[in-house]
């Protein structure tokens, strides 16, 4: 699927305890973006929620909505993204330590 969604996120709604320190020193926040089939009364069809753990989902913990928006462009197709298996790097690339990450 190719789509562009314009969203606004309420930064004050982000639970600080869920920020994640990346290996590269950057700080990340995991969230879920939902593209809805129907538009709400504000002309929006995209919602952003705080990502939930498996335990939170099983306990039916209410979602924390942190943003919303709308799809502004699409090619009209939706496909599910599948994780690709990582190939092992060639031996010469494995020996090199000058990579930036």
DSSP-assigned states of every residue in 11-76: GGGS-GGGEEE-TTS-EEE-EEEEE-SS--TTS--EEEEE---HHHHHTTPPP-EEEEEEEEEE-S
| Residue 81 belongs to some domain of the structure | no
| Residue 27 belongs to some domain of the structure | yes
Closest CA to 40 of 62, 63, 69, 64: 69
Q: What pLDDT is recorded for position 76? A: 81
| Residue 85 belongs to some domain of the structure | no
Number of independent structural domains in the chain: 1
The pLDDT tens digits of the residues spanning 7-57 come to 999 898 888 899 999 999 999 999 999 998 888 999 999 999 999 999 999
| Residue 48 belongs to some domain of the structure | yes
pLDDT band at 88 (very low <50, low <70, confident <90, very high): low
| Residue 30 belongs to some domain of the structure | yes
pTM of the complete model:
0.67
Query: What is the residue whose two structure tokens read 């209410």?
Result: 62
| Residue 101 belongs to some domain of the structure | no
pLDDT at residue 94 greater than cutoff 60:
no
Range of 70's domain?
Answer: 3-75
| Residue 20 belongs to some domain of the structure | yes
């Amino acid at each position: 699927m190719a789509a562009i969604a314009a969203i606004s996120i309420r930064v004050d709604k982000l639970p600080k305890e869920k920020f994640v320190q990346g290996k590269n020193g950057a700080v990340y926040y995991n969230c879920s973006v939902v593209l809805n089939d129907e538009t709400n009364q504000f002309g929006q069809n995209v919602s952003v929620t705080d990502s939930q753990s498996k335990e939170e989902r099983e306990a039916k913990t209410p979602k924390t909505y942190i943003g919303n928006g709308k799809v502004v462009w699409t090619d009209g197709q939706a496909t599910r993204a599948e994780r690709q298996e990582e190939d092992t790097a060639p031996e010469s690339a494995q020996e090199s330590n000058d990579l930036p990450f």
